[in-house]
A = this chain, B = another copy of it.
Amino acid sequence: MEESIKIAQDAPLNHMRQFMADLELDEENFEFYGKYTGKIRLNVLEKFKDRPDGKLILVTAMTPTPAGEGKTLTSIGLSQGLQKIGKKPLVALREPSLGPVFGIKGGAAGGGYSQVIPMERINLHFNGDIHALSTAHNLLAAMLDNHIYKGNELDIDVTNTLWNRAMDMNDRALRNTVVGLGGKVNGVPRESSFLITAASEIMAILALATSREDLKERLGKIVVGYNRSGEAVRARDLEAHKAMAVVLNEAIMPNLVQTLEHVPALIHAGPFANIAHGTSSILGNKIGLKLADYVVTEAGFGADLGAEKFFDIVCRTSDIWPSAVVLVATCRAIKFHGGLSVEQAQNGYNDPEVFEKGLENLRAHIENMKKFKTPIVVAVNKFEGDREDEIDRIYEFCKEMGVECAAHEGFAKGGEGVTELAKKTVDLTESNLNPKKITLYDLDEPVEEKIYTIATEIYGADNIYLEKKALKNLAKYKRLGYGDLPICIAKTQSSLSDDSSLKGAPKDFTLTVTDVQLSAGAGFLVIICGNMMLMPGLPKRPAAEDMDVNDDGVITGLF
């Protein structure tokens, strides 16, 4: 089989004009960005407002190995599979960040015969969205420091500001900085930091905004610090939110591209799944549901993080609920959770006992997803060399659990390899014509109870513990009136627990909350369990060293 990059670069692309015709978009609804990408204007929502919505399919996963289990691949493959069986699908995905593109090789756009293209555009700059986000973020930072420097009328406490700067780069030297040095004309010295743009609250806001007005409203609510009386100072107090919305005026429009099999793909926003909720945009889903009968979307990390947040934060905000949940599993991840290393798990090592032990992780995720009362299909992403008896065992296990199962070969065969999953998914959506609207906690519950509910019902903890810093900040946010927000838990993606070394389905542990942060614009409290890496570094040999472009503009070495 060809390498993924070769497949992507050799693939014939349909002109965006073709998609405009197929999707009934006209010049007023669409802006070209080159021949093979474009942005859909938000006025399509008005144009198609009388159309019934398509069905939303949420793709999530068991706890992944460090290698990743192919959630994006499965989403793309499933959309192609749906097309193969005669349906009208669309796939809605997150945008990649440039930082990691320069760091460690590995595409953020699927793989094999289940990819979105043109991958050079998608992985580099992608119609300017992430740069607009960095600019909006840094405009607010500049206006904050400028306000302090020019007299500080809002009486902002310079020792307690919350807003840092952002750059879409893997640059560890920017994690901890001092800014404003160089004497009086160069500002007020203070400690600061940079995060990678995908971790910016503005990325979460873009993903959750339901209109331009809502975007502006949310930007205005961002808390940048406190005044010396302890009251919150917001972006709108600095009059920054409107200009930030101006900066994001194009970024708010979802980007249209295509899969290798010409399924339309909307790629829009890419918030992290720890500090934020980890899904592509609500506007992308809303528009997608008007343009297609089935919209396949994915949530970041494992189902304990991504899917829980999708229901409790995203669906609660958008009131769009999935008709089916696709839970991605791999033989590799199951063996990994049975106790093997990733390398062992990949290399055909066969031990039924290990496999049974590893299935406990999948069991926990299935049980978790059942709480949302949405039909579930386990999608086994097949790798070359996977054993048939192991695949069979997963089918049997799912039957025992009372959920559907379908192995797929989206990587090796594209949509043709995902028709079983497509059919089963369609059947599930047919059986669920009025999707349930289930969230795990009510907003007016005390924050501690919300945390306890997720910790015990989803992660398998038997208790929670809030460290002093967390308690102090939580008390402050409650006092300021933010206690009614949903919660966004930031913990390791490598375990159902908050300890990345615990595989399988850990029990009898206490979830330790180390800190609480406020994302008032995005509209949630970030409950931090352990460390969060918000600015990655480059490896010793960055992937950037292998990239090149020739005199005709043809790029090589991007993956």
Contacts and interface: CB of A to CB of B under 8 A. Distances in A.
Given A32-B34, A212-B549, A178 B175 contact: no
A169 B135 contact: yes
Interface stretch (A140-148, A399-407, A456-464, A484-492): A140-148
A66 interface: no
A246 B549 contact: yes
B549 A249 contact: yes
Given A34-B31, A131-B131, A135-B98, A213 B551 contact: yes
Contacts of A549: 212, 216, 242, 245-246, 249
A171 B164 CA distance: 13
A174 interface: yes
A548 B245 contact: yes
A377 to B, nearest CB: 39
A542 interface: yes
A540 interface: yes
A317 interface: no
Interface string A206-219: 00000111001000
Q: How large is the interface on A (under 10, 10 to 19, 20 to 34, 35 or more residues)?
A: 35 or more
A243 B173 CA distance: 20
Interface string A506-546: 00000000000000000000000000000001111010110
- Which label, helix, strand, loop or mixed, suits the secondary structure of the A interface? mixed
Contact of A146 (B98, B139, B179, B542): B542
B187 A239 contact: no
A141 B172 CA distance: 11
Interface string A140-164: 0111011001110000000000000
A530 to B, nearest CB: 15
A553 B252 CA distance: 10
A42 interface: yes
A112 to B, nearest CB: 23
A142 B538 contact: yes
A121 to B, nearest CB: 9
A180 interface: yes
A213 B548 CA distance: 11
Which of A170, A246, A548 has the largest number of chain B CB atoms within 10 A? A246
A547 B211 contact: no
A203 interface: no
Given A174-B179, A212-B553, A239-B545, 4 more contacts: A135-B169, A173-B192, A175-B187, A242-B548
